[in-house]
Amino acid sequence: MKKNKAKLIIFTGPSGVGKGTILADFFTKVDNNIIYSISNTTRKPRDGEINGMHYFFVSKEEFEKMIKEDCFLEYACYSDNYYGTNKKFVEEKIKEGKSVLLEIELQGALQVMEKCPDAVTIFITPPNFVELEKRLRGRDSEDEKTILKRLEAAKVELTNASKFHYTIVNDKVDKAVEELIGIYNKETSL
């Protein structure tokens, strides 16, 4: 069996940039030494989203109880909902020698960078802001108020891209996936 280094990989970028599409393809193309961390959220599931696969969907009360019980490696309130990474899951997988990928927004990413300075950090940007807005509106999954909140958050997120080790511009999905595979292989090879 090929040996590799277990790394915590932070994958961040504004809503609508195409993180989900890139990751769906990435995970079909890489070995099983990297695991996707399924977050907890208080957001309602979108059509087609499955509890325990896309997220663990929980109530605000459940989430706040988990905060008190110190269950999160990081958590953030984003666009009126909580999102958080399960600490125990991440620690167990890393101990087993697996890399773990966190697909999280900026506030959470900054928390993990503080706590885990060895984490590999990757920021996904759109080719430009107009394209980001087009993609966010095109997926037709949010109401206008939510879209505007996400675009506001995107402006802040984009100004923080330079804090990350790697930046990938998602102008073509195939190219972005290839870049991500390259980073993963480089960072985890012994």
Site of interaction with ligand 5GP (CB under 6 A): 15, 19, 39, 43, 74, 76, 78, 83-85, 103-105, 107-108
Distance in Å, CB of 13 to ligand 5GP, minimum? 7
Distance in Å, CB of 1 to ligand 5GP, minimum? 30
Q: Cβ closer to ligand 5GP: 4 or 8? A: 8
Q: Residue for token digits 């609508």?
A: 16
Cα–Cα distance for residue pair 63/40, rounded to 1 Å: 8
Q: Cβ closer to ligand 5GP: 19 or 93? A: 19
Which H helix or E strand runs over 5? none
Longest C-alpha distance within the chain, in Å? Answer: 50
Q: Which of 176, 190, 23 is nearest to 102 (CA)?
A: 23
Residue whose C-beta lies closest to ligand 5GP:
108
Q: Cβ closer to ligand 5GP: 4 or 37? A: 37
Specify which residues 100 forms β-bridges with: 8, 35
Could you tell me the two tokens for 44? 């309602």
Q: Cβ closer to ligand 5GP: 39 or 170? A: 39
